[in-house]
Chain A
Amino acid sequence: MNMNYINTLLNGEQGIFKADTLTPMQKITLRFVVVGLVYYAFAAIEGMIMRIYEITPIPIMNEKHFFAMMTAHPLVGIFGSTYMIVFGAFLFLVPFLMKKPLWSIKAANWTFFLITIGTIVMWSAGFLSHYAPLYTLYWPLPADFTQFSAVGGAVFIFGIALIMVGTLIFVVNIFKTIVYTPDGWDKQPAGALLISALGISGSQNIFRKNKKEHLVPLPVAAIARGTVDILLNALIITFTGVLILIYMLWEIGGISLKSTAIDALLYKNWFWWGLDLIADGAVLIFVAGAWYLLATLITGKKLFMENWARAALFVELVVSWTVWSHHLLSDQAQPGILKVVSGEMVTAFELVTQGLAFFITLVTLWSARPLKMTNPLKFLLGGLLGFALAVPCGILQADLGLNRILHNTQWVVGPHVHVAVLVGLTMTLYAAIYFLFPILTNGAKWYSQKLANFHFWAHLLGGIGMGAFMGMAGLKGMLRRAIYVDGEFNIYMILAGICGVFLLLAFLAFLYNIIMSVGINGALGIFKPAKLKTKDLLPAEGK
């Protein structure tokens, strides 16, 4: 091995990255991103193992382990990876865009530790005890102690509780940062800032002749509105967790509580109401906000139809509170009026809000032709394509007639969920990471553009391909959350598995590129205490 290679491996590309020069804010943001990527690797490897098990049950694990993995997989992906990367980015971006320091770095550290530890506690409890009610937790399955250990379940719920506490601290930190008055500043109009952040003043602008200046930049408004859904979701998950925990603690104490005390349909309604605040609320709002931010930063142009974009984010927030019934279209006891109004019609409005964000972003990019095809731009386009493919899938399955033959099939989880998450959301996050990388590292250079290109193509083709083959299996009747032992759908699962390998290779290329860019010493240095004592986001010379 030549000395140059070892030097780059240890100290990064051209030795530019110096962890000692990072501010505490840069370090905390990078820590969030690094841990988020580690958990992404967890979820990706688990996904591959499960894919192999779907092709042929492998002897190293049994059904209990398989379903425990399936329970942990989306939770590690959502909380351990996506929450970490998104929270880290937003804790940096909100003060960056508001041009004032974060309200509390200490609170940001608490969020980091609680979600990092909570995820590993939850994952370990599932791994060791095989607690596996899946993230859907349909009552009374989470309290079925003939199948699951109450102790294992209690530890699992404790891990989720840690994540929720970290999430609530994040919510407080974001809203306080928007409205608070930093030391030495003139008193900030907290109420007006909050109204602007929630989009009420922005929506009024559509109907005003003399448009008012927005107090809060559009991406911050998107973050604030998505954070409202994050808060409501955390409250629902915490409430549900406490309820399940009561059953577990009583069971451990030798008393079996009656599971029929909780109505299964009512439980399903509130659980999906809460879960959709993330799936159909925060994700879509955050992603639209990220598209707008990236489009304006990449082009240097004003956003096309900004007031409409703000209004759409507000509509998306309200829509996210009223769409949960599309998960209950195959529940015959669910009232028909809820199925039609909430499940079909309101859900169809996601086509409008997301289609509008898609259009606004494309027109803003178009206005700045010719653009250089940079890494952030190409990943942004990948993210746009991901949602353009996945959202119509969601609208199609949120139909009374089609849901009857699509519900719980691989169609739902393939071209809808995995394409939305892996192509739409993750590629948007990658666009933000590629964009923020030089800012957060004080100008570090990427080791290899070829690896970045490979990362893009392998991820895009792997993600779309995996979703497509899962979808084909779903249309042929393959269920999700099921095991097929006679090779019924092997052709589709093998092809989806090959696409999964592409996704994994894409991630490894990205990881290698990052390590070679900042060096092993630099990567470790991110986790050492910051030498600079400042609340500023960037070092003085880097501003």
Chain B
Amino acid sequence: MADSNDVLNGLIVVYTTYSILIISLVAWFSYRITRQGRGGLVKPSIFYTWVIMLAVLGVTLHLFTYNTIPWSPMDLNRADIKPDKVFEITVSNHQFQLPAEKMIIKTSEKVLFKVTSTDLTYGFGLFRPDHTMVLQMQVLPGHINDILWQFGEPGIYSIRSTEYSGPKGAYMVVKDAVEVTE
């Protein structure tokens, strides 16, 4: 299964390319409007094409990611997918309370993290040793907060709250909490 780093690398390429193009376009435009030349208006057909292109681009982006990022359809359909393992975690008073047994998962397994808050709104995120993010979700009190995941790579991952819950929550980290094996 594709990893979050694969998706982020793709995003870096796409957005960097776009940024260079749009900065160049505005720079070119800024130079050209100070020069003599035909100042005629653009044909309405070009305008309509532009509008349609933007609409198509906006919708296509989501269709593309839904079909290429593996966790997108899994997330929307998680109620119909039976997980191989379920880990229940409670967050209370700015502390993560993990299951008694160590969380060890195989890359072939689908695992459901079910996180409950007894007081505030928190976040639940898994991070690699180099601090890059694998996944995250919000943890709201009074609601079921569950995420179904299949890990792309073996490794040891840390938990960190990904939502601000007051100054007390600034260091809500559990190091090396999840181990993923082949």
With A304-B42, A333-B145, A408-B123 given, is the CB distance from A385 to B26 under 8 Å? Answer: yes
Q: Beyond the given A369-B32, A477-B127, A481-B163, please list 9 additional residue pairs across the A-B interface where CB-CB is below 8 A.
A: A63-B170, A140-B141, A332-B146, A351-B58, A369-B39, A393-B15, A400-B66, A408-B123, A475-B8
Asked if B12 lies at the interface with its beta carbon under 8 angstroms from chain A, I say yes
Contact between chains at A369 and B37 (CB < 8 Å) = yes
> Chain A interface mostly helix, strand, loop or mixed?
helix
Q: Please name the residue on chain A nearest to B19 by beta carbon.
A: A389
Which residues of B sit under 8 angstroms from A348, Cβ to Cβ?
A: 55, 58-59, 61-62
Indicate if the CB atoms of A147 and B55 lie closer than 8 Å: no
Q: Say yes or no: is A96 at the interface (Cβ < 8 Å to chain B).
A: no
Q: In the complex, which residues of chain A have a beta carbon less than 8 angstroms from the beta carbon of B36?
A: 369-370
Give the distance in Å from the alpha carbon of A476 to the alpha carbon of B145 in the complex: 25
When the two chains form their complex, are residues B50 and A308 in contact, meaning their CB atoms are under 8 A apart? no
Given contacts A64-B167, A479-B162, contact A384 B26 (CB under 8 A): yes
**Cβ of B61 and Cβ of A477 under 8 Å apart?**
no
A405–B125 Cα distance when bound, in Å, is 9
A332 with B144: in contact, given A344-B62, A352-B55 (CB under 8 Å)? Answer: yes
CB–CB A378/B30 < 8 A: yes
Choose among A134, A464, A482 the residue with the greatest number of B CB atoms under 10 Å from its CB. A482
User: Distance in Å from the Cβ of B139 to the closest Cβ of chain A?
Assistant: 9
Partner of B62, one of A388, A399, A415, A489: A399
CA distance A392 to B36 in the complex (A): 32
Name the CB-closest residue of A to B145.
A332
A139 within 8 A of B: yes
Interface members, chain A 389-444 (any B CB < 8 Å): 389, 392-393, 395-396, 399-402, 404-405, 407-409, 415
Bound Cα distance A51, B69 (Å): 33
Indicate whether A257 reaches chain B with its CB closer than 8 angstroms: no
Nearest Cβ in chain B — how far from A500, in angstroms?
Answer: 20
Query: Of the 9-residue stretches B82-90, B96-104, B128-136, which lies at the interface with chain A?
Result: B128-136
Q: How far is the CA of A344 from the CA of B72 in the complex (A)?
A: 12
Cα distance, A370 to B165, chains bound together (Å):
54
* Per-residue interface assignment for chain B, residues 4 to 45, with 1 indicating a CB less than 8 Å from any chain A CB and 0 otherwise: 100110011001001100110010011011111111111010
0/1 string, A48-85, CB within 8 A of B gives 1: 00000000000000011011000000000000000000
Is residue A373 contacting chain B, with contact meaning CB distance below 8 A?
A: yes
**Considering the complex of A and B, which 7 residue pairs feature the smallest CB-CB distances, nearest first?**
A348-B58, A401-B69, A333-B143, A481-B164, A401-B72, A369-B39, A138-B121
Asked if A152 is an interface residue, CB under 8 A from chain B, the answer is no
Contact (A385, B140) CB under 8 Å given A356-B51, A367-B40: no
Contact with B along A221-265 (1 / 0, CB 8 A): 000000000000000000000000000000000000000100111
B153 within 8 A of A: no
B124 → chain A closest CB, angstroms = 10
Residue from A64, A260, A328, A381 in contact with B141 in the complex, judged by beta carbons closer than 8 Å = A260
Interface string of A360-390 (1 = CB under 8 A from B): 1011011111111100001001001100110
User: Which chain B residues border A339 with CB–CB below 8 Å?
Assistant: 76
Contact A489 B42 (CB under 8 A): no
Bound CA–CA A433/B115 (angstroms): 50
B33 touches A366 (CB 8 A): yes
Q: Does B182 contact A (CB under 8 A)?
A: no
The answer on a CB contact under 8 Å between B166 and A132 is yes
Are A141 and B7 in contact (CB-based, < 8 A)? no
Is A539's CB within 8 Å of the partner chain B?
Answer: no
User: Does A67 contact B167, Cβ atoms closer than 8 Å?
Assistant: yes
30 pairs of residues in contact across A and B, judged by CB atoms under 8 Å: A66-B167, A144-B120, A264-B141, A268-B121, A305-B47, A332-B147, A333-B143, A333-B145, A336-B76, A344-B62, A348-B55, A348-B59, A351-B55, A351-B57, A355-B50, A356-B54, A369-B33, A370-B36, A371-B34, A373-B34, A388-B26, A399-B65, A401-B65, A404-B136, A405-B135, A407-B162, A475-B11, A476-B132, A477-B128, A481-B164
CB-contact partner of B30 in A308, A381, A392, A479, under 8 A: A381
Contact of B54 with A352 in the complex, beta carbons under 8 Å: yes
Bound together, the chains give a CA A64 to CA B72 distance in angstroms of 37
Question: Which chain A residue has the least Cβ–Cβ distance from B22?
Answer: A388
Most chain-B CB neighbours within 10 Å: which of A63, A264, A308, A396? A264
Q: Known contacts A356-B51, A395-B58; is A366 also within 8 Å of B75 by CB?
A: no
Chain A residues whose CB sits within 8 angstroms of the CB of B166 once the complex forms = 67, 132-133, 141, 144, 147-148
Once the chains are docked, how many angstroms separate the CA of A400 from the CA of B135?
12
* Contact yes or no, B54 A351, CB < 8 A: yes
Question: Is A345's beta carbon under 8 Å from chain B?
Answer: yes
Known contacts A400-B76, A401-B66: A409-B133 contact under CB 8 Å: yes
Residue of A nearest to B127 (CB): A477
Q: Is there an interface contact between B61 and A395, defined as CB atoms closer than 8 Å? A: yes
Q: Check A367–B41 contact: CB distance below 8 A.
A: yes
Interface check A20, CB cutoff 8 A = no
Query: Is residue B154 contacting chain A, with contact meaning CB distance below 8 A?
Result: no
Residues on B with beta carbons closer than 8 Å to the beta carbon of A405: 4, 7-8, 133-136
The CB with the most chain A CB atoms within 10 A, among B135, B136, B164, B168, is that of B164
